[in-house]
Amino acid sequence: MKVIKRNGEEVAFDLSKIINAIRAANKEVEAIHQLNDAQIEAIADVIYRKIENMTHVIHVEDIQDMVETGIMEMRGYEVAQKYVRYRYKRELTRKSNTTDNGILSLIDNLNEEVNQENSNKNPVINSTQRDYMAGEVSKDLTRRMLLPPDIVQAHEAGIIHFHDSDYFAQKEHNCDLINLEDMLQNGTVISETLIEKPHSFFTACNVTTQIVAQVASNQYGGQTFTLAHLAPFVDVSRQKIRKEVIEERTEAGDSLDESVVEKVVAHRLRSEIKSGIQTIQYQLITLMTCNGQAPFVTVFMYLDEVPEGRTRDDLAMIIEEFLIQRMQGVKNEKGIWITPAFPKLIYVLDEDNITEGSKYWDLTVLAAKCTAKRMVPDYISAKVMRELKKGDVYPCMGCRSFPTVEDGVCNPDGSRKYYGRFNQGVVTINLVDVACSSQGDMDRFWTILEERLELCHRALRCRHERLLGTKSDVAPILWQHGALARLKKGEKIDKLLYDGYSTISLGYAGLCEMCVRMLGTTHTTPEGRSFSLQVMQKLNDKCAEWKAAEHISYSVYGTPMESTTYKFAKCLQKRFGIIKGVTDKNYITNSYHVHVTEHIDAFDKLKFEADFQKLSPGGAISYVEVPNMQDNIEAVLSVMKCIYDNIVYAELNTKSDYCEVCGYDGEIQVVSDDDGKLVWECPNCGNRDQNQMFVARRTCGYIGTQFWNQGRTQEIKERVLHLSNHKLEEVTSGEEAPAGATAAV
């Protein structure tokens, strides 16, 4: 049995500490009011049995509550009074400095929750610890001085989640859709150094990686750039190489036959594209920003984003090289080819690449092979997106946060503007808590939901108002030099916070468990689906109401919970106990997703979740869990075609693990150790040393490789496959259309 201390350290449960604490309080009262040894041991025994039957790790504060209750039940009122006073004095002492213990536990790597808060941050290295230490101070300031007490209390109780409070003290925002075209074509400034328009594709790639690193160091979320903005530089290099080849051959007296020149130019150009993409891949993987992690960067691949003809063919060459290199992977320190976490890739499916025989079909097949091997790219359906986004197709600002469609936010040519926009931040409502608080009463549910949404609204206003008054000088790369805007020195960013230029996100979590608590069934049933869609519509209606009143672009957002899923689960168990199908896990379901344990066919899952994704205009992503599909690319392509026909944005979750002890290349398993803690184990040799294995899993849109907290690990362990081997045979044999009926997995 494990206990979480106040500093976040996870330790073994020690019954003697309970007995000693009661005895200490017992000695403080007169003999006539004291408990005897049998009573003290009885209290401890009851507490032990309660903790033993719990399915989650308990917090020390919960144990102390049990001690108080136990003493009172033994009618030791005077002893209980002494115990309560002792706790109060200790609490006052701790509140006088809320950061010391937290920081010390970080330095000593004792804080279990923080250590596994982010599956792409190594908590051991100095830069990560420095960022976490600064975060502890920022969270302390935020709790005590910057946020209203009721919002802090709601956050700590898991009623809402105020995301990234460790960055709130500084005036930073969430994620960006970089205007790389402006920065490359018109020049930019990096660290007070003028960077002019690149004169080659390779230089453009190099500058791009520098821009990404600078952007990542000036905000706390993800960022996205498109390869379409690099495509024009292929022809810049082509013309430059052609000139050099003609000069070289003329000087050497070689033939200037056009076909020969073209072959040489094409060969050298391909080599430069390879070097340029390699620069992006390796620099983005090896770069480490000031917060101790590689930039959370997404690369967008959309052929129709550039004009048809040579530029589009050049973009196809860039995408092809990116996929080839990503499929190969990167070597770790021991020389083993592994799956890198970044950059995340998004490939757009459209008419010219989705059907066999279409112009870029071979590129789509390559993307399918890459997904089967390395879990990326993910896929956007241009067809469905155009239907939902007024004819536009564009990328998210990071892993899933999409800009809203705004007719009043335009490029110089009058088209709607997307590049250069950003997100102000996120506050997430715990829908499971709303359902549990209403005790299944539908009228109470809607009343409490209204109250909680207003609480989220006020919390989002805090995020917005924290950014008001920010001067462009705080992050010149963002506000002055083109990544997001071209403001003057000293100019405030306020105008970018209104009228749709930026978004602000109302996140939500646990739609599935909410439905189970209210109706006794998941949202995949007709009754559950209807109720859940009503709730989603309510969230959208509130965002529209706030937006109309304040001219701030509120938008509903399917929260990519990582550590939050564990926190919400623990808070729910503390507040409501264990409710089957609702609070009996160490995690709650991400946004609108079908529960990870529910058996549903991949094609049905994508079609079902499409209706909910429509009601998450601020961002969402769906996934299907699949087995190793490297030998069944036809099945991957079938899933991709289903995505194209049904849903805006989706991904395939396969496995990409490696055991360094025995060389096993397959799926590393999650098992329970002797203490009941979930650990990773090689099924071939039994290795459980995380330092001698590589595990990659998709947990929040991005791929994670630094392992996860116990709640997320349980969620990963319990995921069922959405494509069985039988189903794969049906799909690839043509016995069933890609959008077929549900099949047992």
Instruction: Give me the active site residues, please.
Output: 174-175, 397, 399, 401, 423, 557, 562, 701
Q: What would the two tokens of residue 671 be?
A: 């098992």
Cβ neighbours of 206 (radius 10 Å): 18
- Spatial CB neighbours of 642, under 8 Å, sequence gap ≥ 6: 602, 603, 606, 607, 738, 739
What is d(CA 87, CA 185) in angstroms, rounded to the nearest whole number? 63
Find tokens 């109060």 and name the residue.
88
Name the one residue in this structure whose structure tokens are 């109401």.
545
Nearest to 55 by CA among 582, 431, 669, 589: 582
What phi, psi does 385 have (nearest 5°)? -65, -40
In sequence order, which ranges of 254-381 are alpha helices (DSSP H)?
258-286, 310-328, 361-374
- CA atoms within 13 A of residue 432's CA, in its CB half-sphere: 34
In the 3-class helix/strand/coil scheme, how is 704-731 assigned residue by residue?
ECCCCCHHHHHHHHCCCCCCCHHHHHHH
Tell me, what DSSP letter sits at residue 677? -
Give the β-pairing of 378-381 and 160-162.
unpaired
158 vs 148: CA distance, rounded Å: 16
Task: With CA atoms as reference, report the closest residue to 314 among 206, 198, 235.
Answer: 235
Single-letter residue type at 246: I
Radius of gyration of the chain (CA): 28
CA 165 to chain centre: 16
The β-bridge partners of 10 are 4
Which sign, positive or negative, has the C-alpha torsion 205, 503, 136, 676? negative
Count of residues in the chain = 745
Given a contact cutoff of 8 angstroms between Cβ atoms, the answer to whether 367 and 320 are in contact is no
| E strand residue ranges, 49-107 | 58-59
Q: What is the DSSP string of 339-368?
A: ----SEEEEEE-TTTSSTTSTTHHHHHHHH
Q: How far is CA 70 from the centre of its chain?
A: 42
Angle (CA) 688 694 697, round 5°: 105
Sort 636 into a burial class: Cβ within 10 Å, 0-12 / 13-18 / 19+: buried
C-beta of residue 592 within 8 angstroms of C-beta of residue 619: no
Report the greatest alpha carbon distance in the chain: 113
Angle between helices 526-550 and 442-467 (to 10 degrees): 40
Count of CB atoms situated within 10 Å of the CB of 48: 15
CA distance 246 to 75: 99
| C-alpha 21: how far from chain center | 42
Amino acid at 74: M
Helix residue ranges per DSSP H, 159-200:
180-186
Tell me which H or E stretch contains 337: strand 337-338
What are the phi and psi torsion angles at 508 (to 5°)? -150, 150
- Count CB atoms within 10 A of the CB of residue 12: 8
Cβ atoms within 10 A of the Cβ of 734, count? Answer: 9
Burial of 386 (0-12, 13-18, 19+ CB in 10 A): middle
SS3 529: helix
Distance CA 129, CA 745 (A): 43
